[in-house]
Amino acid sequence: MVGPERPQFVLFGSSIVQLSFSDGGWGSILGDLYSRKADIVLRGYSGWNSRHALLVLDQVFPEDAAVQPSLVIVYFGGNDSVKPHPSGLGQHVPLPEYVENMRKIAIHLKGLSEKTRIIFLTAPPINEDQIREFYSSDSFFGRTNELCREYSEACLELCKEMDIKAIDLWTAIQKGKDWQSTCFLDGIHFSAEGSKVVVKEILKVLKEKDWEPNLHYNSLPAEFGEDSPYYPLSSDGKTTLNLSEFSFDRIIYWGIHDEND
């Protein structure tokens, strides 16, 4: 491990997570905003459901690790919600089992450390027409927006019961104008516009939660943030410009600022 040691944010989930480090993806935006402040660690596995997640949970999050994550953002649900196939194969996980799988994931993560914070992302909506345009495989046609809603609501109920912060992506994505045409690459996975919605919702949680320490990027110190004579000269030619803090410029760049920033 390289140092100095920073807070570690782990993104754990299926393809919504694996693809989040693509150009304009929500993981890459977080990585940019938290540069010099936290390490964003990707643990995304395309095609996986909550059953898959349980099989590797101890390997991804070992209880005896010397350093435990400060934040874990978990997403499973979209693949679980796919309609069952007559063969018994495929991604479908019955709703009651999905809830119990997510409960087990939450219990494991809560046991890692008193300082490990958890956010669950619910299943987002989908664009069924766009899916048909992009994919020929029957496995992708077993998805409906209604099933995504059911799994999203079940996740929200579980999080309420277990006092875990949840982000209702099914609702948040659909608030945007023309969300069906702007928020997806293929009807399932997020475009840059959809990723902005995800980041805004995550940052809203991190800003509002009374976690100690607060994990919002404005609250975390920049690594090696002290002034230095080796920084670029200021306009007066007598001082230097400290470049350790530039988050505001980045939220403008990504188009995720609001009136409160």
Span 203-212, pLDDT tens digits? 999 999 989 9
**The pLDDT value given to residue 257:** 66
DSSP 115: T
The reply to whether 14 belongs to the active site is yes
Q: Please, are residues 183 and 193 in contact by the beta-carbon 8 Å criterion?
A: yes
DSSP 20: G
**The pLDDT value given to residue 243:** 81
Q: Which residue has the tokens 């293929």?
A: 186
**50, 81, 92, 189: the active-site residue:** 189
Span 68-84, pLDDT tens digits? 999 999 999 999 999 99
**The pLDDT value given to residue 258:** 62
The reply to whether 163 belongs to the active site is no
**The pLDDT value given to residue 23:** 86
Sheet with 117-121: strands ordered across: 39-44, 8-13, 71-75, 117-121, 165-167
Half-sphere exposure of 249 (CA within 13 A, CB side): 6
Q: Is the pLDDT of residue 183 over 80?
A: yes
Of 183, 188, 162, 163, nearest to 172 by C-alpha is 183
Among the residue ranges 4-13, 49-58, 63-72, 130-139, the one predicted with the least confidence is 130-139
Among 38-47, 130-139, 214-223, the range with the most confident prediction by mean pLDDT is 38-47
**The pLDDT value given to residue 3:** 82
**The pLDDT value given to residue 29:** 95
Name, in order, each residue with C-beta under 8 angstroms of 245's C-beta and a sequence gap of 6 or more: 222, 225
| More confident of the two residues 142 and 249 | 142
| Phi, psi (degrees; rounded to nearest 5) at 83 | -60, 145
Q: Please, are residues 69 and 41 in contact by the beta-carbon 8 Å criterion?
A: yes
The reply to whether 186 belongs to the active site is yes
Q: Is the pLDDT of residue 252 over 80?
A: no
Q: Is the pLDDT of residue 156 over 70?
A: yes
Percentage above 70 pLDDT, the chain: 94
**14, 81, 152, 247: the active-site residue:** 14
**35, 113, 186, 244: the active-site residue:** 186
Confidence of residue 251 (pLDDT cuts 50, 70, 90): low
**The pLDDT value given to residue 248:** 61
Record the pTM.
Answer: 0.93
